Amino acid sequence: MPVAWDSHPHTVVHLKRFKRSEARSHAMLAIFLLWISVWPAFAGPSGEWRYCYAGSEQSRRFYVSQPFPSSGSPDAVERQWVAWLSRQVVRYETTGCPRGTDRAAVAASIASAARYNAGLGRSTVELDWQFVP
């Protein structure tokens, strides 16, 4: 007498195991998705680094700050930089505070910008400015 495939004792055991492992897989997936969604909150600050620059075509100078770790908002950093430049009576036409993943990346960016500006006939001037968070 033929036995239905789903009523065979070994098949029933395997189906129960499969359903348990499927439930475990779903639970593990849910835990994983929860983990990756909350990880950024516990990971702390991203190791963001910046430097600030100001370019002056009139004086033929390219002003740069030293690289610094930055946890502040980009707007706050640039506001501090511009305010400091004004107090130092540095004239400029362009300014910005680019970011990088680490100090070495920012240093490479400064070197590249200095080479570019040298090609335009501007001398690079390092300024002693520190961002205050």
84-116 pLDDT, tens per residue? 999 999 999 999 999 999 999 999 999 999 999
pLDDT one-digit tens code per residue, 64-86: 999 999 887 899 999 999 999 99
pLDDT at 39 over 50: no
Specify whether 63 is located in the same domain as 108: yes
Cα torsion through 12, 18, 22, 28, rounded to 10: 130
> Is residue 14 in a domain?
yes
Specify whether 30 is located in the same domain as 79: no
For every residue of 40-76, DSSP letters joined together read HHHS-----EE--EEEETTTTEEEEPPPEE--S-HHH
Average pLDDT, the chain: 81
Assign 42 a pLDDT band (cuts: 50, 70, 90). Answer: very low
Any idea which of 3-17, 27-41, 61-75 has the lowest mean pLDDT? 27-41
The pTM is what?
0.64
Specify whether 2 is located in the same domain as 36: yes
Q: Check residue 72 and give its pLDDT.
A: 79
> Is residue 107 in a domain?
yes
Specify whether 104 is located in the same domain as 87: yes
Specify whether 3 is located in the same domain as 33: yes
Domain that holds residue 66: 49-126
